[in-house]
Structure 1
C-alpha cells in the first residue's frame, strides 16, 4: 500500500522531526519509498503548513504538524496496546491491524479506549502514547547506528513500521534489551546482548530505526 500523508507525518514524528531536522533519505528508508515520492509529498506537506523544509538541511514538523502527527500516533499506539493486551495478538503482528483501525478512530473513541486500557503510556514497541491534547513524554532520539564500540545502552523503542518490527523479531531483539557494542563496520553494528549472552549483528540501515538510551551502565 502506498503511504499517504498521515503515514509521512507519523514517520517524521517517529524519526524525531518534532524537535530536529531529518533528511529525505531517512524517510525513504523508513517508509521504503522512492526519493521522488518523498520529495513530492514533502512539497505538499509544506504547502499545508505541516512541515518546514530547509534545502540541504532537512525537514521539521510545524506546531500544527506536530499535533496532527501526535494524535495519529496516539490512535495507532492505543490500538496496538488493545490488540496485545485484550486480544492477545503477538507483538510483532499488531502494526498492520492498528494501521487499519486508527483511521476510523474518533477523539471520543480514543479517549474511551485509553480509559479502558488504564491510560497506557507506551505501546508494545516502546513508543510513547501522546495524550488527547497531543502532549507526550520526551523519548530517545539516539539511534543504535550512532553508537561506537564499547558503548553500553538499552533499547528504548523502535520505529513503528512493519519492516523494522519484523526485523527485530527475526533477530530476537526486544524493547529494554541491554547490550554492549562489540563491533562496528560499514554494514553492521554488532552488540553483545545481556538477555541471551550472545553477539547479534544488526544491519546498519535497521539500526538507524532502533532508538536507545546510552546512559545505562552494566
Structure 2
C-alpha cells in the first residue's frame, strides 16, 4: 500500500502558485461583473419599461435554470460557431460573472423594494431625478442591506471558479491536473488545492468583513 508523499508537490509549487493567481484574478473580475450587472438587472426589473424588463427577466430565468458548466461551454465553444470568438479567460469571467449576476440581482431587487418610499419621494422633492435618486439614495441603501447574502455569493463564485478549468484556463485545478498527469499522485495534489482554496476563502471572508465594517461605520 502506497503512503502519502507530499514531497512530490515541491517541484510543482510554481504551477500551483500560478494557478492560484489565475483563480484569484478570475474570481475578482467575475465578482465585479456579477455585482455591477446584478445592480443593472435589479433596476431594470423594477423600473425599466416592459420592452427591456421582459428580456432581462427571460435572461435571468435562463441563467438560473441551467448549470454554470453548460453556460461556460456555450460561451466558449458555442459563440465561436456564430463568429463570436471570446478568449478562454474572458469566457470564464463572463460566464461566472453573469451566472452570479442573476442571483445578485434577485437579492438586490428585494433590497431595493424594501427601501422606504418616503426616501424616494423626499429625494425627488429636493430636485433629484429618477436616475439620481436610484444612484445616490436607493441603490446604496439596498447594497448595505444586502451585503451579507451578496458576500455569500462571492464566496460561492470563488469556489465554482474551478469549473473554468474545463475550457483550458490554467487556474488552480487545471494546474493540479497537470501535476497529477506527471506524478500519478492525485491525493496529494487535491489536498494541496483544497488547502489553497481554503486560504483564498479565508482571505475573501476577511475582505468582505472589512467592507461590511466600513459600510456600517458610514451609516
- Which category describes the TM-score, using the shorter chain as reference length? under 0.3
Higher helix share: 2
Q: Normalised by the size of structure 1, how large is the TM-score?
A: 0.25
- Which protein has the larger Cα radius of gyration, Structure 1 or Structure 2? 2
Please state which structure has a larger fraction of its residues in strand. 1
Higher RCO (CA-CA < 8 Å; seq separation 6+): 2
TM-score (ref. length: structure 2) = 0.25
